[in-house]
Structure 1
Amino acid sequence: MSVVILTVSEDEADIRLDRYFRRHYPHLTQGALQKLCRTGQIRVDGKRAEASTRLQPGQAVRVPPIPVSSAARPVRDERPPLDERLVREIKGMVLYQDQQVIVLNKPAGLAVQGGPGITKHVDMMLDGLREGDDPRPRLVHRIDRDTSGILLLARSPGIAAKLAAAFRGRDIKKTYWAVVVGRPDPQEGEIDQPLVRLGMGPNAIMVAADRKDKEAQFARTVYKVVDAAARKFSWLEMSPLTGRTHQLRVHCESLTTPIMGDPKYGGEAAHVDGFADQLHLHARELDIPHPAGGRLVVSAALPPHMQETFRSLGFVAGSTPGPSRRSR
């Protein structure tokens, strides 16, 4: 056995390094993979990488000698039949679908992908959206487990690569709604606050960072107050200009107006008696370049707990428009 250099294909755009290895080396355990990463034996473009590193087409993955029963090659994804209840559940989330994309309204509390302690997630349910012998739909991006709203899927690997590239650029507009405790001052503007990760695994958090910190990631969010209940609560509309983990939650906290019900960043101020103790953050609208041309705009209705909070505070969201396709 010797070192192998694999090139990431277009069909594998934005895949995590650990999932990439599960595809090519299904007998390699997660623990063994993490050890190979820690010791620098697995590298991406010559650099050390973590299991969570996301790969891009054309990158070179260094694979050390691994005792496997076959040569490195994509392995057919054999999964047991999906329970009919899960099929109905995932189909009930569909807001829009065509031959290229599927758009879901993910409920709050449902994880997008698996992890420690997670036994049910969107990724495990995607077979319920397959049509005949078509490829299994692919996740294009992710939102937090406790965040509700729009989640975009691609019907084929090639479409997934195109959309992943669009997400890395600036040709996609994402709009979120949040209920925060307090009222921001000023009531609209741009938050330009770098972030840095502290810790590892599920207990890791993102915090505001000094611009001189070499580990800091720049993060920008445009926001405005849509409505307010006195100075106690505000309805914010936010558009992230970057895609950092927990960006909106940390940026709201940096304004000293934490998102209501945020268990990770809001502290005691975010837990308000009389309101649902759930994160009040919703991916409301997605405006994307459609792979077949033109643009697709899809909006998602608020989840039940935010609808109730809106009613209690007198916020009027109006009706949710249907999906629209338009030429450029």
Structure 2
Amino acid sequence: MAGPLRRAPPLTAEQIQARVLHRDGLILVIDKPAGLAVHAGPSKAPNLEECFDALRFGLPRPPALAHRLDADTSGVLVLGRHPKALSKLGRLFSGRDTEKTYWAVVRGAPPADKGVFDQKLLKVNTRSGWSVKVSDKGQTAVTRYKVLGRGPHMTWLELKPETGRTHQIRVHCAAAGCPVIADRLYGTAEPGQQLHLHSRGIVLPLSKTKPPIVVEAPPPPHMIAALKACGYGDK
């Protein structure tokens, strides 16, 4: 008797391989598309993990997630190619030895050209699911920000989270009065628009004897117009 039919991955082997930004014996870094969850959730919707078999590149097993990005966030995502690599990456990410850089285009502007958002964040369960809010009862959360450009009623920010709380950048920006464009949870849903939050780059000090691995992802197509309105490409 035949087993259940497996659905096709959301990206073909060629499409996911074309999104590889860095590859070595330990890790892969890929450019995650916006709007696709990284792993299976309760909804059983298509997810990025379904594509990982096409990223074995000769190894006996597919790579696995070393960290996560929100479904609506695009950009740099690190995968470990085997268990030893994953445990090493786990130590790096938990010890704050990595440097992550995000780009966001937000409605309005933060209070200064650069600064730190450091409100504590608490994950709360609601009838419709869960969300994150600023709360003194929450966990420490630190996000450094810098204005890279300004446009009509919008600002282009570089953000460097020093902690890895769920939805950290989105909640910190909203709490500062400058929600990320098209953030339907913490800002305003904008029909036809996707979340303007992009994992721009990462620095991974994987070896004590070699320079760190530095990887950047190009901004996604849906953010280009807003970035250009804020001066992207003028320099």
TM-score, normalised relative to structure 2: 0.90
AA of the residue aligned to 1:254: A
Moved runs in structure 1, 4+ residues, more than 6 A?
Answer: 79-82
Higher relative contact order at CA 8 Å, sep ≥6: structure 1 or structure 2? 2
Distance, in Å, in 2 between the alignment partners of 1:123 and 1:201 is: 28
- What is the CA-CA distance between 1:108 and the residue it aligns to? 0.4
- What is the CA-CA distance between 1:135 and the residue it aligns to? 2.6
- What is the CA-CA distance between 1:252 and the residue it aligns to? 0.1
Distance, in Å, in 1 between the alignment partners of 2:89 and 2:95 is: 10
Q: Structure 2 residue aligned with 1:226, among 115, 131, 148?
A: 148
Partner-residue secondary structure (3-state), 1:185? coil
Question: Within the alignment, does 1:257 sit opposite 2:178 as a pair?
Answer: yes
Match of residue 102 from structure 2: 176
Partner-residue secondary structure (3-state), 1:163? helix
Question: Within the alignment, does 1:138 sit opposite 2:39 as a pair?
Answer: no
Q: 1:175 to 1:218 in 2, by over 3 A?
A: same
Match of residue 93 from structure 2: 167
Q: Structure 1 residue aligned with 2:45, among 112, 119, 138?
A: 119
**Counterpart mapping for 1:12-51 below 5 A:** none
- What is the CA-CA distance between 1:145 and the residue it aligns to? 0.2
Partner-residue secondary structure (3-state), 2:91? helix
CA deviation digits over 1:106-151, x for unaligned, max 9? 0100110011224311111111111334332111000000000000
Distance, in Å, in 1 between the alignment partners of 2:29 and 2:70 is: 16
Question: Within the alignment, does 1:88 sit opposite 2:2 as a pair?
Answer: no
Q: Tell me if the contact between 1:82 and 1:128 (Cα under 8 Å) persists in the aligned partners.
A: no
Distance, in Å, in 2 between the alignment partners of 1:202 and 1:144 is: 18
AA of the residue aligned to 2:165: R
Distance, in Å, in 2 between the alignment partners of 1:227 and 1:278 is: 20
Structure 2 gap ranges (5+) = none
Distance, in Å, in 2 between the alignment partners of 1:202 and 1:308 is: 33
Q: % of aligned pairs identical?
A: 39
Distance, in Å, in 2 between the alignment partners of 1:281 and 1:83 is: 24
- What is the CA-CA distance between 1:289 and the residue it aligns to? 1.1
AA of the residue aligned to 1:142: R
Distance, in Å, in 2 between the alignment partners of 1:133 and 1:304 is: 32
Q: 1:263 to 1:109 in 2, by over 3 A?
A: same
Structure whose residues are more often helix by fraction: 1
- What is the CA-CA distance between 1:217 and the residue it aligns to? 0.7
Q: Tell me if the contact between 1:180 and 1:259 (Cα under 8 Å) persists in the aligned partners.
A: yes
Distance, in Å, in 2 between the alignment partners of 1:83 and 1:193 is: 39
CA deviation digits over 1:276-296, x for unaligned, max 9? 521000000000112584300
Distance, in Å, in 1 between the alignment partners of 2:58 and 2:174 is: 46
- What is the CA-CA distance between 1:249 and the residue it aligns to? 0.2
Distance, in Å, in 2 between the alignment partners of 1:171 and 1:246 is: 20
AA of the residue aligned to 2:212: R
Q: Tell me if the contact between 1:179 and 1:259 (Cα under 8 Å) persists in the aligned partners.
A: yes
Greater shift after overlay, 86-95 or 239-248? 86-95
Q: 1:139 to 1:200 in 2, by over 3 A?
A: farther
Q: Structure 2 residue aligned with 1:286, among 188, 196, 202?
A: 202
Partner-residue secondary structure (3-state), 2:90? helix
CA deviation digits over 1:39-72, x for unaligned, max 9? xxxxxxxxxxxxxxxxxxxxxxxxxxxxxxxxxx
Question: Within the alignment, does 1:154 sit opposite 2:80 as a pair?
Answer: yes
Distance, in Å, in 2 between the alignment partners of 1:143 and 1:84 is: 17
Match of residue 122 from structure 2: 196
What number of residue pairs does the alignment pair up? 230
Q: 1:201 to 1:86 in 2, by over 3 A?
A: farther
Larger Cα Rg: Structure 1 or Structure 2?
1
AA of the residue aligned to 1:176: Y
AA of the residue aligned to 2:222: H
RMSD: 2.4
Q: 1:283 to 1:80 in 2, by over 3 A?
A: same
Distance, in Å, in 2 between the alignment partners of 1:187 and 1:83 is: 42
